[in-house]
Structure 1
Amino acid sequence: MDTTPMTHQEPVSVQQYLQLEERTEGKHEYLAGQVVAMGGASAHHCLIAGALFAILLPHARSKGCQLFIAAMKVRIDHEGDSWFYYPDLVLSCDPADRDPAYTAHPCLLV
């Protein structure tokens, strides 16, 4: 696996971003063509996100929803541009929202 961080001055396509993100360690957000490396989280931050995940998971499963923690991207498309973010928690209850790389129709973001 490539450990080189992504840094691009020129705009990157969504397809290029998704391919690069598969091959690099660490996480990067995509902001309408620009790739930005994400920083780490504190222990307290991780404990809070983990506790919320533990509370929400049984409810999500009982409704047939998917609950993701930290590593699932959310794609936002607006006026011809795209953005990809990594929320701490993502809940998707749309059965058609099952892309393996990202969710595009979440019903909850934390």
Structure 2
Amino acid sequence: MREAANTHLYDITLAPNRRVEVPVPVTFRGFAITVSGAGHIATPTTTGTLSPIGLATFEQGEGAVELRAGEHGGQFLLGVGRPLRTPAYLYGGFCFSDRARVTNAVERYHSGHMHGALTAP
């Protein structure tokens, strides 16, 4: 087996007004999502607020990412990785690298051949 993409996902919980800096290779891009609480995100070139249910993205070349919790603390998911540089075709809940695969998945779904694969337990 080989690694398809060099990715990292961090679950970060911070006490009120605390901060953490996560080093990120300059070839990576990423996102931060607020799980609970609120806070701020900063890279060497940009800053932003992470409100409750917030989402922030950053591009390649940013380097380190700093997360700072608000006055009530916060939990954040930070995802970073090397871009795949492949096209993405979306239709409903399906996402594939080419249109034919999306069409095939939608047809299989409508015909019942997915046998509950998209149903939560």
Q: Same fold (TM over 0.5)?
A: no
Q: Which has the higher helix share?
A: 1
Between the two structures, name the one with larger relative contact order (CA 8 Å, sep ≥ 6): 2
- Rg larger for: 2
Q: TM-score per shorter chain, which class?
A: under 0.3
Q: Which has the higher strand share?
A: 2
**When the two structures are superposed, what TM-score results if normalisation uses the length of structure 2?**
0.26
